[in-house]
Amino acid sequence: MTFAPGDVPPRAGIGFKHAHAEALLADPGRVGFVEIHAENYMGAGGPPHRALAAVREVLPLSLHGVGLSIGAEAGLDPAHLARLVAVAERTRPGLVSEHLAWSTHEGAYFNDLLPLPYTDRVLDRVARHVDEVQTALGRTMLLENPSRYAAFEASTMSETAFLSRLVAMTGCGLILDVNNVAVSAANLGFAAEDYLGAFPLAAVGEIHLAGHREDAAGDLLIDTHDGPVSADVWSLYRNVVETIGRPLPTLIEWDAAVPPFDTLAAEAERAEAILTAVRAREAV
Amino acid sequence: MAEPPPRRAEAQAAFAAALLDRSQRVAGLVDGHGRAAPERFMVWRNTMRASLADALGAAFPATRRLMGDDYFRAAALHYVEREPPRSPLLMTYGGNFADAIARLPGLAPYPFVPEVARLEFCRLTAYHAADAAPLRPEDLAALAADALPTARFDAHPAAALLPLPAGGLAAWQKNADPPADPSPEPAALVTRPDLDVRVTPLSAAAADFAAPLLAGRPLGESAALAENADIVEVLSVLLREGAFCRVSVTSPT
C-alpha cells in the first residue's frame, strides 16, 4: 500500500530516525505519519533510502527541507532545488515544507536557520523564492515560522504580518511551530498568545512541537529539539488547536539526544489526545 | 588603531563573515524592546560551530577516540572556521578533514591518525553510495577464457581502494565500534555489496593489482602491473566483497 500526495492525516506524527525503523515498522499505527529532513535522503542510495522506503510503505510522509536557504539574498541553488524535487518524486510526500530562514551564503552552508529582517524588500525576495520552489515541485509548500534570538532594527513589520502577506502573495501554507513561538516570545519579550492571535491560522497546514532549553547564562531560550515538549508549549498547542477548530497534522520533533521509539510515540500520543478532543467537538 | 565599525547584520555577507570569523561583529540586532543586543549574535555562531563540530565527531568516531575528545573538538572547530560545508548535504562534509589534521604539528608523529580519518570518510561515502547489484563470480565464469585478459570491470558505486601505509587500517580496527583484530596490511578495500559497509585488508601486491582493475584497466594489463600478486586469489576476494558491478570483454576480431 502506498499513499498519494495530500494524504498526511490530521494526526500526530514523529520525525523518522533510522534507529527507530524496526520499532516503528513493528507498530506503525502508533503514529499518524512520519516527517524526514529532506537533506538526509539526498545521498545516492544505501541504508537510509532502504529504511525510508520500508517505512513509506506503511505510513504517510511529510518532507521537511532544512537546507534550501529560501531567505538567501542570492537566488536559490538550482542544484539543491532539483535534489528536493527528486526526493519528493521518489518519496511522494503528502506535505513539503521549508523554513523562513537562510543558511547558505556564497556557497558556504552554515547548518543553521539564520534570521531575516522583515521588510518589503525581503518579503518580495522570499515570495519570489517560494514561487520558484512551488513551480518546481508542482504543488504548494508550507513555510515554518522561525525561533528567534534577536530582532532586526531594520525590520518594518511584524513576523505575523510578514507571513500573512507572504501567504497572500504566493498561496503557500504555513507550519506553525508552537515551540518556536514560545522560544521567540521569551527571547523577544512578547506574549505568545498575542502572536498566535495575529498568526494567519487559516493557512496552517501542519503544527510542530519540540523541546527547548535555557542557554548557559539563563538569558535566552534555545530551540534545541533535544527533550520533551514543555508544559507551556502543550498549553499553547491545546489552545491554538481549539481556536483553529479542526485537527491538524502535528509533528513531535526530537532530533538530538534522541530517545527510544516508545518515548517518542508516547509524546505523539499526547498530541493525538488533544487532536481527538478537537475532532470530537468538531463532530458535535 | 581604531577597530572598523561593525557591519549591518541584515547584510548576509556581514552575518556570514561574522559567523566564521570570531573577530568580526555585526550591528543592528536588537532585543524585543528595540535595545541593541549585539551579544545575541553568539547564539547563531555557537550553534553553527557546535553543530558542525558535532557532525564531524559523528562522522569520525575512531579518529576522535584516537585524538581524544578535547583535541578532536579543537581541530574540528578550526576546520569549521576555515572550511565550512560547501553543500547542505552534511553527509558530504569532512572530505578533506583528513588532510586538515595531517597538517597539525601535534599529529606529525602519528601519521596513522589522518589515515583513520580517510578510511572513516571513505566508509561514510560508501554508506550513502548508489545501490547496485555486485558482479558475481559466476558472471565471470560465463566469459570465454581467451577473452579474459581483455575483461574490464566497472567499479561498484560504493567500492574504493585506500592505501594506508602508516598503519591506519590497524588503528581504525582497534578503535572501531566494536573493535576488530588489527591487520598489518597497508591497504583497505571498502565496499558495500548490499546494506553493510565492509573493510577488507589488502597486501601491497594485492593493491597493486586491484587499483588498476578498479580504475577500469583490462585484466591482463592489471595483472602485468602486479607481478607479486596471486591474481586468482585477489580477483576472488574482489568479487566476493562486491567491488564490481559489471564486466565487459573485447571480442577477438
- Alpha-carbon gap: B154 to the closest alpha carbon of chain A (Å): 17
Q: Is B90 on the interface with A (CB under 8 A)?
A: yes
The shortest CB-CB distance from A108 to any of B51, B84, B129 is to B84
Do B242 and B177 fall within a single domain?
Answer: yes
In sequence order, the 6+-apart residues with CB closer than 8 A to the CB of A266 are none
Range with the poorest average pLDDT among A265-274, B114-123, B140-149, B186-195: B140-149
- Strand locations in chain B, DSSP E? 7-8, 26-27, 29-30, 152-155, 160-163, 187-191, 198-202, 244-248
pLDDT for the residue numbered B250: 86
Mutate: best of B7, B8, B21, B40, partner A, most A CBs <10 A: B40
Do B161 and B229 fall within a single domain?
Answer: yes
Region B169-188: mean pLDDT is 97
DSSP helix/strand/coil, A36: strand
Residue B164 covered by a domain: yes
pLDDT for A123-156, tens place per residue? 999 999 999 999 999 999 999 999 999 999 999 9
Residue B175 covered by a domain: yes
Do B102 and B201 fall within a single domain?
Answer: no
Do B28 and B105 fall within a single domain?
Answer: yes
Nearest Cα neighbor of B156 from B189, B187, B118 is B189
Nearest Cα neighbor of B5 from B19, B29, B21, B24 is B24
Among residues B59, B81, B110, the one where a domain terminates is B110
Report how many domains make up chain B. Answer: 2
Q: Please judge whether B128 and A69 are an interchain contact, meaning their C-beta atoms are less than 8 angstroms apart.
A: no
Residue B91 covered by a domain: yes
Tally A–B CB contacts below 8 A: 128
pLDDT for the residue numbered A4: 47
Do B55 and B155 fall within a single domain?
Answer: no
Burial B36-66 (b: 16+ CB within 10 A, else e): ebbebbebbbebbbbebbebbeebbebbbbb
- Alpha-carbon gap: A69 to the closest alpha carbon of chain B (Å): 9
Q: Is B85 on the interface with A (CB under 8 A)?
A: yes
Q: Please judge whether A220 and B52 are an interchain contact, meaning their C-beta atoms are less than 8 angstroms apart.
A: no
Range with the poorest average pLDDT among A46-55, B35-44, B124-133, B137-146: B137-146
pLDDT for the residue numbered A214: 93
Angle of CA points B6, B7, B11, to nearest 5° = 155
Residue B118 covered by a domain: no
Do B142 and B92 fall within a single domain?
Answer: no
Do B102 and B135 fall within a single domain?
Answer: no
Region A110-130: mean pLDDT is 98
The shortest CB-CB distance from A47 to any of B8, B12, B195 is to B195
Residue ranges of alpha helices (H) inside A118-202 are 120-137, 159-170, 178-188, 192-198
Q: Count H helices, E strands: chain B?
A: 11, 8
pLDDT for the residue numbered B252: 58
DSSP helix/strand/coil, B81: helix
pLDDT for the residue numbered A1: 39
Q: Rounded to whole angstroms, what are the CA distances from A1 to A10, A60, A112, B218?
A: 19, 10, 36, 46
Percent of chain A with pLDDT over 70: 98
pLDDT band at A284 (very low <50, low <70, confident <90, very high): confident
Peptide bond into B157 cis (omega under 30): no
Under a CB-based contact definition with an 8 Å cutoff, are residues A68 and A76 in contact?
yes
Q: Is B95 on the interface with A (CB under 8 A)?
A: no
Q: Please judge whether A105 and B13 are an interchain contact, meaning their C-beta atoms are less than 8 angstroms apart.
A: yes
pLDDT for the residue numbered A5: 45
Q: Please judge whether B31 and A50 are an interchain contact, meaning their C-beta atoms are less than 8 angstroms apart.
A: no
Angle of CA points A170, A171, A176, to nearest 5° = 105
Nearest Cα neighbor of B183 from B204, B200, B197, B195 is B200
Region B110-130: mean pLDDT is 98
Domains of chain A: 12-283 (3.20.20.150)
CB count in 10 Å sphere of residue B132: 20
Region B139-151: mean pLDDT is 91
- Alpha-carbon gap: B243 to the closest alpha carbon of chain A (Å): 15
pLDDT for B63-78, tens place per residue? 999 999 999 999 999 9
pLDDT for B45-63, tens place per residue? 999 999 999 999 999 999 9
Checking if the pLDDT of A176 tops 70, the result is: yes
Beta bridge partner(s), residue B163: B187
Amino acid in the structure at residue B180: A
Residue B46 covered by a domain: yes
Grid coordinates of A188: 523577544
Angle of CA points A40, A43, A47, to nearest 5° = 80
pLDDT for B236-245, tens place per residue? 999 999 999 9
pLDDT for the residue numbered A261: 97
Do B143 and B220 fall within a single domain?
Answer: yes
Q: Please judge whether A109 and B85 are an interchain contact, meaning their C-beta atoms are less than 8 angstroms apart.
A: yes
ipTM for the predicted complex comes to 0.95
Region A167-192: mean pLDDT is 98
pLDDT band at B153 (very low <50, low <70, confident <90, very high): very high
Grid coordinates of A185: 516570545
pLDDT for the residue numbered B253: 52
Q: Is B41 on the interface with A (CB under 8 A)?
A: yes
Do B150 and B243 fall within a single domain?
Answer: yes
Mutate: best of B24, B52, B89, B92, partner A, most A CBs <10 A: B89
pLDDT for the residue numbered A3: 43
pLDDT for the residue numbered B32: 92
pLDDT for A215-268, tens place per residue? 988 889 999 999 999 999 999 999 999 999 999 999 999 999 999 999 999 999
pLDDT for the residue numbered B121: 98
CB count in 10 Å sphere of residue B135: 20
Q: Please judge whether B10 and A152 are an interchain contact, meaning their C-beta atoms are less than 8 angstroms apart.
A: yes
Residue B195 covered by a domain: yes
Q: Please judge whether B28 and A104 are an interchain contact, meaning their C-beta atoms are less than 8 angstroms apart.
A: no
pLDDT band at B1 (very low <50, low <70, confident <90, very high): low
Angstrom distance (rounded) from CA B230 to CA B228: 7
pLDDT for the residue numbered B2: 65
Grid coordinates of B194: 548490499
pLDDT for the residue numbered A274: 97
Mutate: best of B19, B128, B245, partner A, most A CBs <10 A: B128
Burial B163-177 (b: 16+ CB within 10 A, else e): bbebbbbbbbbebbe
- Mean pLDDT across chain A: 95
Among residues B81, B110, B139, the one where a domain terminates is B110
Under a CB-based contact definition with an 8 Å cutoff, are residues A38 and A66 in contact?
yes
Beta bridge partner(s), residue B246: B154
Contacts of B25-34 with C-beta under 8 Å, sequence gap 24+, read: B28/A152, B28/A153, B28/A154, B29/A150, B29/A151, B29/A152, B29/A153, B30/A150, B30/A151, B30/A152, B30/A153, B31/A150, B31/A151, B31/A187, B31/A188, B31/A189, B32/A151, B32/A187, B32/A188, B32/A189, B32/A190, B33/A189, B34/A153
Do B134 and B243 fall within a single domain?
Answer: yes
Select the more confidently predicted residue: A121 or A284: A121
pLDDT for the residue numbered A2: 42
pLDDT for the residue numbered A43: 97
Residue B213 covered by a domain: yes
Region A63-86: mean pLDDT is 97
Q: Identify the sign of the CA torsion A218, A220, A224, A230.
A: positive
Residue B211 covered by a domain: yes
- Alpha-carbon gap: B189 to the closest alpha carbon of chain A (Å): 18
Under a CB-based contact definition with an 8 Å cutoff, are residues B168 and B115 in contact?
yes
Amino acid in the structure at residue B194: D
> Which chain B residues are within 8 Å of A114, Cβ to Cβ?
12, 15, 44
Do B235 and B134 fall within a single domain?
Answer: yes
Q: Which residue is closest to B39 within chain A, CA to CA?
A: A150
Residues in chain B: 253
- Alpha-carbon gap: B82 to the closest alpha carbon of chain A (Å): 11
Residue B20's domain comprises 7-110
Q: Is B1 on the interface with A (CB under 8 A)?
A: no
